[in-house]
Structure 1
Amino acid sequence: MTVLVWIAEGTWPACVDAARTHAPAGADFVLLHVSDDDVPAAARGAFAGLLGRGHPDQDPGRRIEHLATTSAEDLLRAAADRLARPARRERRHGRVEREVVAAAEHADLLVLARGGDRTRLGPRSLGKPVRFVVDHAPCPVLLVWPEPPPGVDSIPPPPPR
C-alpha cells in the first residue's frame, strides 16, 4: 500500500500524525510538497516591468525560487523526522491542486488537511486547493483537521423555510 502525504505549510504535522496512525504496517510512504510557480513568476514580471529589463542578474524570482526550494526541503525533512518511518520525499512545481491529484494517481491513500476556515464545521473549512483535491483524487482520501476540530455547535443554522 502506498500512502501519499501532502506536506503543506501549517498543516503538515497533522497529516504526518494521521498517516502514521492510520496506515497499515508495511505501508510505503511518500511525502509530497508542491511549490506554486506563480509567486516567482509574479516577482519576475514586476521586476522586469518596473526596474529590471537590463538587469537580469538582479531578478528577485531566482531568490524566491531558492527560498521556496529551501523551505520545501526543510518541511520534507521535518515531516520525515516526525513520521519516523522510511519515506520517499517528492517535490513538485506547478498548480498545487493539480500536482497533488497527479501525484495521487498511483497512491492507495492520500492524506491531507483542511486548509480553509477552520473555526467552524462546514464546507468553508476546505480551501479551494483542498476542495479540488478532494473532488478529483483518484484514490481514497483521509481528510484531517490540523488542530482539534470546532464543536458541532459551530454548524450554521439551517436556512429559513
Structure 2
Amino acid sequence: MSAVLIAVSEVGAGPELEAALTSVRLAGHTLLLAHVIDNGARGELDLIRSRLLGRPLPGHRLRDIGAAERDAATSILGEAATVAERLGAGCETWLGEGEPGRELVRLAAGGRCELIVIGARPPAADLRPGPHSLGSTARFVVDHSPVPVLLLRRVASGRPASAPPPVVPRVK
C-alpha cells in the first residue's frame, strides 16, 4: 500500500492535516505522519557555549535536551494521529532526527511514498507571498523530493486555506 507522507512540525497542526485530507483523494493510501527533531540547534548551542565559557555543555544536559525534544515530538505526532483517526484516515507515525528537509526526502525516497504534504512556512513566519514564502525545510523538500510535493499555506487568519482558489476560465 502506498503512503502519503505528511510533515508535522508543531502541536496544533490539526488544521493543516484537515486541509491535506480535503485537498487530496486518499483512498487506498496510508498517512505517514512524520516529525524530524532538528538536532542542528543542539550542536550550535554546544558550540556557542564552548566558545563563550570554554567548556561544552555537560553530557547530562545534552541528554535532558534530547529527552525533552523526543517528548515534544511524541506529543506532536500523537495529536496529529488523533486528528487523522478522527477524520477516518489510517495512519502511521515516524520520528527522525537530523536536518528535517534531508530526513523527509530520504524517507520519501524509500519508495513507499507517492506524495509529500508540507507546510510552506513555520507558523510564526511572515505570510506574504513572494520569493521568501517558503521556509528552508519546505524549500529543500521541493527542490530535492523524488515524489510530488503539496505545499500548504496558511492564510492571514493563521489557518491553512482549505481549498484552492477557484479556476477562472480564460476568455479568448
Q: TM-score range by the shorter chain?
A: 0.7 to 0.9
String of CA shifts for 1:88-127, please: whole Å, max 9, x gaps. 1101111111111111112101101111654322231101
Corresponding residue for 2:116? 110
Matches within 5 A, 1:74-93: 74-84=75-85, 85-93=89-97
Aligned residue for 2:146, secondary structure, equals coil
Aligned residue for 1:125, secondary structure, equals coil
CA distance in 2, matches of 1:37, 1:104: 20
CA displacement at 1:2 relative to structure 2: 1.1
CA distance in 2, matches of 1:10, 1:74: 7
Gaps in structure 1 of 5+ consecutive residues: 150-161
8 Å CA contact retained: 1:14, 1:144: no
1:39 to 24, 41, 59: 41
Matches within 5 A, 1:1-161: 1-9=2-10, 12-21=13-22, 22-47=24-49, 50=53, 56=58, 59-84=60-85, 85-105=89-109, 106=111, 107-115=113-121, 117-146=125-154, 147-148=159-160
Runs of 4+ in 1 over 6 A off after TM superposition: none
**AA at the equivalent of 1:23:** R
CA displacement at 1:14 relative to structure 2: 3.8
Query: Percent identity, aligned pairs only?
Result: 31
CA distance in 2, matches of 1:126, 1:11: 20
**AA at the equivalent of 1:34:** V
8 Å CA contact retained: 2:11, 2:75: no
8 Å CA contact retained: 1:34, 1:93: yes
User: Which protein has the bigger helix share?
Assistant: 1
String of CA shifts for 1:3-24, please: whole Å, max 9, x gaps. 0000112673343113322232
- The TM-score normalised by the length of structure 1 is 0.78
- Inter-CA distance 46–128: structure 2 relative to 1 (3 Å threshold): closer
8 Å CA contact retained: 2:119, 2:153: yes
CA distance in 1, matches of 2:133, 2:139: 9
**AA at the equivalent of 1:110:** I
8 Å CA contact retained: 2:36, 2:95: yes
**AA at the equivalent of 1:135:** D
- Inter-CA distance 24–120: structure 2 relative to 1 (3 Å threshold): same
**Number of residue pairs matched by the alignment:** 148
CA distance in 1, matches of 2:10, 2:139: 17
CA distance in 2, matches of 1:133, 1:11: 22
